[in-house]
Amino acid sequence: MSDPSPPSRERRIVVLISGSGTNLQALIDAQNTPALPSSRISLVLSNRKAAYGLTRAAQANPPIPTAYLGLQPYLKANPGKTRDDYDVEVARIVARENPDLVVLAGWMHIMGDGFLDVVNGDRPYDGEQRVQKPIPVINLHPALPGAFDGAHAIERAYEAFQKGEIKHSGVMVHRVVKEVDRGQPVLVREVEILPGEPLEAFEERLHQVEWKLIVEGTRKVLDEAAPSSSPVSS
C-alpha cells in the first residue's frame, strides 16, 4: 500500500484594511475551503481604529487576531519618527506573523519604500533579523491596469464613461511595487458600465466582481508561493 500524501502546510495570510471589510469578508468565508484550501488569515491589521473589518475578524469562527496602527497616533506617540518609520512598523507587525502572503483589501494608505524593503528582505525588522524570503504583497484595485491609479477610481471611471472617454472599467489584483497601482497584474476582470446606470448600481456590480477576484487572486499567488496539496478547482 502506498503512503498517503503528507498533509499540506497551512498557508498564512495577513490582511490589511481601512474600512468596512467586505473584501476581507470574502477572504474570511473562503479560507480553508476549496476556494482557498489549507489557508488561514492569521492577522487583520487596520490603520483606522473604527474600521468595521476589525469587528468582522473578531466575529469570525474561530476569531481572527487583529491589530491597529494609525499613522497620526503613531507619529504623535513617537516624536521625531516619520511616515517611513510608520511604514517600517507596519511591516514589522506583518513580518512577525511569518505570512505566506499579504493582501491589501481596502487599505487606504500608500506604502512607502520602508514597508516593501522589509517584506522583500532588504531591511531588517527586528534588530538584524530579516525575512527569510520575500513576502508577496497583493492589492485589490477597482480599475483596469494603467487606468485610474490611486483613490476614487470607481467614481473617476464612471465620470469618464459619462463623457464618452471609456466603454467599460474593471477590477484587478496586482502585485504591490513602489509605484502606486503599477505592479504586475495577477488577475484582471472587465466590468461593463451600462448607459443610464446610476453610480451606485455600477459600484454594487463592481464590488460583486471584487469579492470573487480577491479570493481568486489570493489563491493564485499563494499557490505560486506556497502550494497546497489540494487539487485546484476549476
HEC letters along 154-180: HHHHHHHHHCCCCCEEEEEEEECCCCC
Q: Per the residue annotation, which of 141, 168, 174, 207 is the catalytic one?
A: 141
141 is catalytic: yes
Give the neighbor-by-neighbor strand order of the sheet with 168-175.
66-68, 39-46, 11-17, 101-104, 137-141, 168-175, 185-192
How far is residue 72 from each of residues 8, 13, 182, 191, measured CA to CA in Å?
41, 26, 26, 36
Give the largest Cα separation in the chain, rounded.
68
Whether the Cβ atoms of residue 144 and residue 82 lie closer than 8 Å to each other: no
Whether the Cβ atoms of residue 138 and residue 102 lie closer than 8 Å to each other: yes
Q: Which residue has the cell 484595485?
A: 141
Beta strands 11-17 and 137-141, pairing class? unpaired
| C-alpha cell of residue 82 | 516619520
Residue partners of 194: CB distance under 8 A and separation at least 6: 201, 202
Would you name the residues annotated as active-site residues?
Answer: 141
